[in-house]
Structure formats: C-alpha cells, structure tokens
Chain A
Amino acid sequence: MTNQSSIPRYAVGVDVGGTFTDVFFLDEAQGRIDIAKVPSTRGDQATGFIEGLRSKAEPKQIATVVHGTTVGTNALLERKGARTGIITTRGFRDVLEMRRRDRPSTWGLWGQFVPVVPRDLRLEVGERVLADGTIRQAVDPAEVKQAAQELLAHGAEAVAIIFINAYANAENERVALTALREVWPNDYVTASSDILPEIREFERTSTAALNAYLQPPVGSYLRKLESRLQGDGFTGQFLIVQSNGGVMSVDSAASRPVRTALSGPAAGVIACQHIAVAAGFPNVVTCDMGGTSFDVSLIAGGEPAMSAQTAIDFGMVVRAPMIEITTIGAGGGSIAWIDRGGILQIGPESAGSDPGPVAYGLGSDRPTVTDANVVMGRIDAERPIGGKLKRLDVEAAREAIRKHIAEPLDLDVMAAAEAIIKVANSRMAGAIRLVSIERGHNPRDFAAMPFGGGGALHVGALIKEVGLASALVPRFPGVTSALGCVIADMRHDFVRTVNRTLDDTDPVILDAAIAEAAGEGGRLLDQAGIAFEGRAISVELDMSYLGQTHTVAVPLSGDFSVPVNLTREGIKAAFETAYAAAFGRVLDRIGIRVLNLRVAAIGKRKKFDLALLAPPTEGTVEAAKRTTRQVWLEGAWHEAGIYRRLDLPLGAVIPGPAILEQSDTTILIEPDLVGEVDRFGNLVVKRKAI
C-alpha cells in the first residue's frame, strides 16, 4: 500500500492475542486503512509484534504505535512474574495471603491459593499509622534498608512497600521508599500509597504486590519492543492501552504495569464505543466470544461502564478503574454434557484450542458449541477460520453429539445440536441481561455488538432472546482491539480516600484535592508530547449512607479544569440522584458518607474518520454471493445464501437465512432477521418487518 507520490504516515494499533497478533494501520497522510493478522509468537511476543508491524509498513513511516498487551495478564495467570518481595508493617506480613477470608467456590472446600509473593519474601518493619493519619510509630530507614538487603540476598528482583493505613498518611511509606531506593539496584519498586491511596488493606496490598510482580516482565518487554522499534528507524510515539481504555506512555506502563491487566479487551470496547456512536448506536452491549469464555461490556449513552476492581484469578485482586468486563465460561470450545439428573449443561469445562472441538480432529470426542455449529452447517467445514486446519470433521462432530447428547436426551442428532446452541445462547443471553437489564437499562434501547471471531454466529439469537433492538457487526470484528488502540484517548486516574460524613467534609479541601489531581494529570498529559484535540477532567465521589459498606459512584458535573466551588448541597443532590438510579429509593434522615474522591485527566486524541471503513459503493449483492449452503435453523434445513461480506456494497440488504463470510469471522442472519450494510461498513441486523 505504499505510494510513491507522498510519504505515508501511519498510526498503528497492535493487539497481541493468544493465537494471533492483529495490526490495524491507519495511513494518516493518505487517509487509508489496512489490517494484518500474523501468528503470535508464544514466549516472545515482541517477534510477532514486529513481524505484524513490518508486514504492511516501515517503522520509520510510523508516527504512533499503540499497543494492547496481554503480557501482564498472562504473567499473572501463568504466575510468571518476577521474584518479588514485600516490606510491610510489623504484624501484617500475611495480609496478601489471608485475602478477605474467602474461598474460590461456594460448594466444595478444596480451594487453594498461592500468593505471588511467598511468605519468606514478606518482611516486616516497625512502623504504624492510625486510621486518622496520626503516626504512632515512625519508620526507621535503617530497618527498611536491612529488610531490602535481606530480600536482595534472597533473590528478589522487585519490591513493594505496603504499610497499614498508608492511604490516610503516606509519610512512613515515603520515608521507607527513599531509604529503599538507596539500596535497591533497579527501578522495580512500588509504594502502596502511590499505586492506590485507598482504604482496604488487602485490595491495596494485592494491587501493589501484583504491580511489583509485573514490573520486570512488562517493563523489559516494553523496553525491548521500544528499542527494536527504534533500531528499525521508528522515531514516533509508543503508547500502551490501560485497563481503563485510555493510553499511557511506556514509562507509565513500566512503572504501573498492573494497569495493563485488561489492556487488550479494553481496547476492543473503546473501538466499539467509537464505531457504535458514529453509527448512531449510543447504547450497545459488546460481546466477545472466544474459545473458553464470553465477555460482555456495556456502553450506555456513549460511555463504557467502568468498574473499580477485578480479580484476575482467585485472590488476585487488582483495584484500579477499568472498563467493566463481565465474563462467563461459555465459548466455542465449551463442552456440552448431560448431568446425572439428565439436564443438558454447557461448560464450564472447555476443550480449549488443543485438543479443541471434536471437529478439529485433534483427539477430543466430547462435543462443544463449535461442533454443534459445524454439524448445523453454520460454520463451513471446508473453510475453517484461522487457516491452521484444512477442513473440519463434520462426521466426528455428529458422532460425538449423537453419543453424548442425542442418545441420553432421546433426541435426533440435529435436534441435539440445536439444543446445544440454544442452551449456550441462553447462557450468553444471561450475561447480557446481567450488564443491561440488571443495571436498570431497557433492552429495547440497546444493540449487541459482537467482536472477536465467534460472536457473530450467535448474535442474532441473542438479540431475540434478550429483547435487544438490533445487532451491529463492525466491519472488521477480528481486529477490533487493534483498531481501538488507534482511537483510545490518553487517560490518567487518581484516587484519594476521604472517609468522612458529608457534614464533616470540607468542600474547600475537596476543591483543592481535585485541583491537585487535575494539575498532576495535566503534567502527565504534557509529558506525553502529544498534540491533543482537547482535554477533560472528570470527577467522581464514592458515596454511601452512613453504615453501608458498598458505595455508589457519584459523578460531579462541571468544568474541573478551572478552580471549582463544591457545596455540600450540590454533592448531596448528586448522591441522591445516583442512589435513586441504583436502588429506586432514597432514605430519609440517615447520614451520608464520602469514601473516595476519583479524578480522571483525559487527553483526547485525534480520531480518524470512520468513513475510511466504508464499504464499496460499487458492486452488487449478487456479485458478493459466493454460493448457497444447507443450514439447520429452527428445526429444519434452510437453503442459505453465502456471501463475501467485504464485497457487499453500501446499503446492501440481506434477508435471512444467510451467512456472511470474511477471513476472521462468520456472520449468521437467521430466517426472521435481515442485515443491512451501513456507511461505515457495519452490518446492522434487525428483525424483519412484518
């Protein structure tokens, strides 16, 4: 796609997944886009990254590279972070391991938990801060240095300082940090009051410990990428997507890698947000169906729903603002089985990608959701996605469904395959209900937006089951996260614990805290060296009635880039609005508490014109039609048209039953639905008019 007459200038988004590395190229000079998909290189993601990048562009032509990374997530899931130590308050070294006194599952008592920092690398020093911030015992720098030496002698590479009540007064942690830096041989140092100055010692400890644990692997990976890019002549900006959907610099990511825990999926949601809003769908539920799981996120009024924390695994809590992603264990590889009561169940056990579904022919004989899709003709057995397999084994899939599902349920094979799909759809619909209806939204105002490879086969059924208005299938579902990288704004989050009643809260102090965070955010945005299109400061308070322990997020409106004058009355009104929206009623005569102040500084990056994704204006539906195929739907075989999706022109209307194919996904339009290609190349799927 090079052009001799003008020099291309690219913004490139790179999303490294478990199987593929997706790259989205935006040629800002010529207004063109391109995509690439190369195999990910396990163990050394940098190689796949560079290959993907170089497949379509020269590094020196690239102005910006934005990366959605799973290096941090994988290091957590596979426990491959650095050897890490903790220095903490005397008496409290086991906070990380004791968690919040929980267990992994309600039923069965066989839970296990291995903390990322083993007990012998968690050392204690004398110091104590009280809940009101009073220093009861000052820390002795010499004792901290001695602890640090001991950790180094035991081979620790990274270290976190975590003191009780450091959210209320960080002085002891600051003193300890200064002492620590004098003896620690590298930058892999985290202080809990720096990473999360928020009340709740376990959540702060876990977040700080995981951050330290990730600093070496994520830092070295990013540095290596950076130097390889520079070695190849790259002189532009290199940015990393955070779990909150905003980007940050490599320096920020290297020092706060825990904020990349959901980097890749967050970028996908950001892309959906942008595409959906442009297409006139401010309310969508994004759906990412993978091999083992189904992830949904809500975008309402054009804004993604955020959550304050997540657990990467049992006991591995990361507390930081992040795009809320709800996961259930139902993916293409989820195994269908009959329980002892004779009830059909889907998952949570998954065949994964190896051995994978029966149809892959890699040795599994237990039927999966994908096998049902193959048997029903919804997936083309002759043209499997991904290109690794030549063809899929339909007969083996049929046999597995016959043996494990059809016979026990006394159904024929096709009815059994359809049952698997129906039950899987019902579970996925449950996840959509959880984030939409259960949060008080009306499903008729929402569209489902599948991205990734698998969702588009199921999305028609999902909109019918949940009662959503429509589905919006983006033009390149398989590279959505990479596209999101190019779009994401820069964002820095700050939190400060207040923990006072509203009556005892001094608005002037809140004003000052907001101004301070906004100033710090502004400085970080300045340092990035990016010409932002605009900037914004958003402010939220975590509030509750006195006595409640769960808070509601209370957004405050106003322009926070200039000094503000908050009032108690204004804050109370905002709280009551938020509380009523969450629970339907407000309570009289009960005190109100302000727990935390949250400030986000956002630098808006220039968005590319989504018209670049536009479908061809020439061509016909007939020309895009490749063939027809028998597809099993609603209890019968249907002759469905098979179309090359990317060849469908603007305004093309495809009534179901039909199947639309592209290299990275298959879209099913059920008989009672119709799909239409919009001006951004999205396919809008709706019920047929009666």
Chain B
Amino acid sequence: MIDPITLAVLKGRLEQVADEMDATLFRSAFNPIIAEAHDASHGLYHAVTGETLIQGKSGLPIFVGAMAFAVKAVIDKAVRDGDLKDGDVYIFNDPYDGGTHLSDFKLVRPFFRNGKVFCYLASVGHWHDVGGNVPGNYNPVATECFQEGMVIPPVKLYVAGQLRQDVVDILRANTRLPDSLYGDMNGQVNALDLGSKRLHALLDEYGDATVDEALAELKKRAAIQFRSLLRDLPDGRYAAEDFLDNDGIRDEALRIGLEVVIEGEALTLDFSRTSDACAGPVNIARSTAIAACYVAIKHIFPDVPANSGVLEPVTFIIPETSLISVKAPKPVGGYTETILRVIDVIFEAFAQIAPDRVNGCAYGTINALSLAGHRRDGRRWVMFSFFGGGHGGHPQGDGLNHGNAPISMATIPPLEILEAAYPVMFTEWSLRPDSGGAGRNRGGLGAVYEIELLEEEADLFLFGERGKYAPAGVLGGHAALRNRFVYPKDGKLVEPGMVSKLHDAKLKKGDRIRLETPGGGGYGPPAERKAEKIAEDLRLGYVTKEGATRDYGRKAKEAAE
C-alpha cells in the first residue's frame, strides 16, 4: 500500500500538473471568455472509465463533473474504432455525450506509457463563436441544436502527432471568428503538450505503479471523506423546488423539483418532480445535470476533493423524460441557466439539512448579452459578455456584492476594454440598491449596466433568467430582486416578451439598453438583522428607505434616526 507521505506529496504534484495546464491556456487563449473569464478546465482522467482523477484548481467548477463524460465518449469511440495511437488528440463539442453546450470544445488526448494508455489528459474551453443563428451561440429561440452551432462528434484532430488540417479547415469554415477559434484551439493543444511533458517527468520520478496507486487511493479517500460528512447529517427526506422563467419559446415556468434523501452514509438526489423536456434551449443532458450536482456539493462541502470518488455515495434519480436528461437534437444552449437552478434547489434543500453550511441563492443567471453589427468599413463586430450579480447571505455575514456565478470563476472584462474594442459606451456600471434579499445576513447586491450604441446599427440578443422567479433566501431570508432588462422599441423602453430572453432586436445609434441583475437571497429572518447593520445599509445606499421599511418595518425607521 502506498505510504501516507508519498500520497500527500503526489496529491500536490498531480494537482500542480493540472493547474499548470489551466494557466497555460488562460495566458495563450484568444477569446476573453477563456483568457479573462477562465471558462475552461484541464485534468487527468481514468484510462478505462474516463472518471476524473485530478482537476486543476482554477478551471471552471462545472467541468469537474462534466469532463468525465466527455472523456468516456472518446474512450467509447476509440474502442469502437480500435485505432487509438500515441499522439492522437480527439476534438468534439457534442453536448449530449460530453456535457454542457456546443460552445465548449473538448480536446482529449490519450497519455501512453510503455505502449499502454496510462490515463487521458483533457482540455475544455468555451470558444467565442461556433456558428449557429446567434453570434456567441446563446440562441434563446433554438428548438434544435443545429440552430445553436456546429455539432462535432469525437474526431481526431491529431493522428499520432500529425495535425489533420482538413479538420481545422472544417472548424474554421463554421465560425464567425476563425482566428479566435484557431488561437484558442492552439492554446488547448499547448496545454495538452505541456501536461503530457510534466506527467512523463512525474512518472519517471515516482514510477508508474506508485502514481497509479496514488490516483486510486485518492479516489478512495475522497469517497471516505464524503461518506464521513454524510454520516454527520440527519437522516431524512427533504424537498425543495425552484423554477425557470420559461424556455424562450413558450412563456411557461419550468420546475426543477428535488427530493434529497440522507440515509446514513448515502445521499440520493431525486429529480423526479422536475418538468419534462421543453421546446427551447434550457434543456440539459444528464451528464450536465450530474456535473451541476457535484458543483453544489463542493460549494456546501468545500474540502471534498475534485475527483470522482466524491460521487460514489451519491445516487441520482433523473427520469429520461426530464428537461435535465435530454438527448440530441434537443437544444441545450442555455444550459448555464438550468444548472444554476439545479444548484439553487440543492442549496434550498440543504438549508433544511445543514443550515450552518449553506447560503442564500446567488443571482442565478449569467445574462449572456450579444451586440453585433458591422463597422462602417464593413468589418463584423460581436460583443458578447456575461454579467454579474449578488451572492447569498451566509452564516458569516452578508453576501458578496457583484460576484461571479457559482458554476464559474469568471471575471468580467473591463468596460474600458469593451469600449476600446466595440462601438459602445457604458453610461452606467453600478450596484443595484435593494437588490439583495433581506435577512439576518442580507444577500449581496446585483448590478446595473447601461450601454449606448455608438455605431449606426446593431443586432441585440439576450439570454437570461430570474426575470420572474427571484433568487430565494434560506432559513427565513427573503428573496432577492428579479432580473430586469429594458431596450428601446417603437420609441419606448420595453421588457422582452420572454422577460429576460430576447432574440434579434435592432438598435440604432444612441439607443440605450439597461440590464439590472438580481442580488443574492437573504440568510435568516430579517427580524433578526441588527439595527446598526440596517443603518449602515441606509447610509451606504445598499438599501433605500422604502426598501428598508418594507423589509425591516419599525426597525428600519429607528435605524434611519
């Protein structure tokens, strides 16, 4: 058996390999969604099952779970074809096998030692544009994946170390931004090359058998660790539900219904009460749903490791008809919104199970906003960005103002970079008063972004959520303010028919659009909020007088005086 010292040392060494792959791609990527927002991930995966063995610390949290499915899809393909070679790199974006959505391109490389696959290395990154009807690929009215972008099944990008230029040519021909795609793809290849080099050096130093044993042991320990955490939780059945506004096609709410069952060291996540698959793009594949559950678990229990062992004690019940278990060609482009809701319901359920470990729901929508047009000289421009909101109140204090989504560590591009690159001018970039849910510990504030178009014309798209169903508070905490978007139409500022989803609106020079994002939900009853905290909120303008009076009543009046 591997000794405890070598195990602890190898754990750090292996994580460093994955971390370095992350860092290499972040520095060399072309599109800001990877370079600035870190919407990418790298890791080591099991040679037979594809399970996550080691994941980089800086990659997007959702990929920890999702990439195991992606690697398994490649393994299945390689087994079918029987032609796996050292130096092969597979590339694909099929979300039904590989999880998430079409924008995420996965590069998977078998790592050979002595003629045998020791493990797989993989890199995933969110490309700027992969074709489809909408620049940036958040098509809020897609009813099939073909309207969302190109669909590439696992194919070889490299055969035994030789690049297949024809594959690159096909990819380049299917995007609005071929240089960006080419640059990102090269960055991912760089990361795989580097990971391979580092892993060979590590295996040479410690021996293949020892590292193999360490990987197996780390998985086992992760399972032990999570089981011991589960053992401390009270047995029982706990229900929670939350809703998506609509699917972008029909304005009907969609339920994510969850029952959590704790039985000794076992955890069951039962999504039977979830709505059936919908026409629009807020469906997700089963692999994505499981990955989302993993993200929530890791937020509630941050110390559990990032490997597949954690999922061993977990049973998933997800009906095949459900909107979180769809197959091709159901549209899945808005997967971020659905997984955020899956994470929210898990928080809401765990508030009943482990109140000292949870927080109010975060803002719960990424608000993918796309403005696109042509410059006077004919060049195409696409500004595509995600926006922030508040985090939930938590046992230690108020929620963070203007944080990133729980599924990612993405940062927002500087507005000065956006203004320098695109014909837009921001007229406001501020915190949104009253947007945090009231509570003993208040939710953090969402934001207001107002943008004016400086070029003659542009097309406008938005893919958001939480326009009808606000981020919930927990343990008596109030909900946050809802998402709100307005744009000019026929001389008036209006909200989209689908609330936070808008397709193909036209803007003219001087038009302004305004996005107001949700805060986070509150934690604990507002009646327990200290008067001096309310007074401070008023002084700093985090809450308005009206908001405070509504939420805190008489206490607010005293605080104001």
Contact = CB atoms under 8 A, between A and B. Distances in A.
Q: Bound pair: A and B?
A: yes
A98 B398 contact: no
B180 A103 contact: no
B221 to A, nearest CB: 3
Interface string B130-161: 00000000000000000000000000000000
B58 interface: yes
Given A98-B447, A119-B540, A164-B415, A423 B9 contact: yes
Interface residues of B, number: 87
Contacts of B454: 130
Interface string B371-405: 00000000000000001100110111111111110
A549 B4 contact: no
B414 A199 contact: yes
A411 interface: yes
Contacts of B224: 340-342
Contacts of B400: 103, 109, 111-113
B541 A343 contact: no
A560 B257 CA distance: 68
A570 B501 CA distance: 49
Contacts of B30: 545, 547-548
Interface in B176-196: 177, 179-180, 182-183, 186, 190, 193
B440 to A, nearest CB: 14
B553 interface: no
Interface in A90-124: 91-95, 97-103, 105-113, 118-120
B420 A343 contact: no
A343 B404 CA distance: 31
A341 B416 contact: no
Interface in A551-599: 582-585, 587, 590
B4 A131 contact: no
B402 A99 contact: yes
A102 B401 CA distance: 10
B9 A545 contact: no
Interface stretch (A270-278, A426-434, A504-512, A607-615): A426-434
A97 B429 CA distance: 11
Interface in A398-426: 409, 411, 418-419, 422-423, 426
B404 A101 contact: yes
A583 B391 contact: no
Interface stretch (B21-29, B110-118, B280-288): B21-29
A422 B412 CA distance: 40
B498 to A, nearest CB: 25
Contacts of A164: 415-416, 426
Contacts of B299: 107-109
A181 interface: no
Given A340-B225, A344-B4, A547-B30, A201 B409 contact: no
Interface string A162-192: 0011011000000000000000000000000
A442 to B, nearest CB: 12
Contact of A547 (B180, B431, B540): B180
Interface in B511-561: 539-542
Interface residues of A, number: 69
Given A341-B305, A426-B8, A106 B411 contact: no
A94 B428 CA distance: 10
B95 interface: no
B222 A119 contact: no
A362 interface: no
A91 B547 CA distance: 21
Nearest to A419: B5
B238 to A, nearest CB: 20
B437 interface: no
B16 A585 contact: no
Contacts of B490: none
A101 B430 contact: no
A120 B541 contact: yes
B20 interface: yes
A423 B414 contact: no
Contacts of A547: 30-31, 177, 179-180, 183
B190 A411 contact: no
Question: Which residue of A128, A165, A167, A549 has the most chain B CB atoms within 10 A of its CB atom?
Answer: A549
A309 interface: no
A533 interface: no
Interface string B219-237: 0011011001100000000
Given A101-B402, A107-B299, A109-B359, A583 B190 contact: yes
Contacts of A168: 420
B500 to A, nearest CB: 18
Contact of A92 (B5, B221, B228, B429): B429
Contacts of A409: 4
B5 A98 contact: no
B428 A199 contact: no
Query: Looking at B12, B359, B420, B447, which has the most chain A CB atoms within 10 Å of its CB?
Result: B420
Interface in B1-15: 4-5, 7-9, 11-13
Given A109-B392, A340-B228, A547-B180, A100 B431 contact: no
Given A107-B299, A339-B225, A419 B388 contact: no
A128 B454 CA distance: 14
Given A102-B409, A344-B8, A546-B179, A165 B404 contact: no
Nearest to B423: A131
A532 interface: no
A249 B186 CA distance: 47
A310 interface: no
A13 B512 CA distance: 58
A108 B302 contact: yes
Contacts of B413: 549
Contacts of A423: 5, 8-9, 12
Contacts of B403: 101-103, 109, 111
Given A426-B13, A547-B31, A587 B183 contact: yes
A202 interface: yes
A589 B388 CA distance: 35
Nearest to B432: A94
A412 B388 CA distance: 52
Contact of A100 (B183, B414, B428, B430): B414
A362 B29 CA distance: 51
Contacts of A95: 429
A102 B388 CA distance: 9
A130 B425 CA distance: 7
Nearest to B427: A91
B9 A426 contact: yes
Contacts of B431: 94, 97-98, 119
Nearest to B190: A583
Q: Which of B35, B387, B392, B403 counts the most chain A CB atoms within 10 A?
A: B403
Given A106-B57, A130-B425, A101 B412 contact: yes
A343 B402 contact: no
A438 B198 CA distance: 10
A106 B16 CA distance: 16
Interface string B416-443: 1101100001111111000000000000
A499 interface: yes
B344 to A, nearest CB: 11
A93 B430 contact: yes
B32 interface: yes
B409 A341 contact: no
A93 B16 CA distance: 39
A343 B409 contact: no
Contact of B27 (A112, A165, A345, A582): A582
9 contacts: A92-B429, A98-B402, A103-B400, A110-B395, A136-B425, A343-B221, A344-B5, A423-B12, A583-B27
Given A339-B225, A344-B5, A549-B32, 12 more contacts: A91-B428, A101-B412, A109-B362, A111-B400, A118-B540, A164-B426, A199-B414, A423-B9, A430-B16, A545-B183, A583-B28, A587-B186
| The 9 residue pairs across chains A and B that have the minimum distance between CB atoms | A341-B221, A341-B225, A101-B388, A91-B428, A107-B302, A101-B412, A100-B411, A131-B419, A108-B302
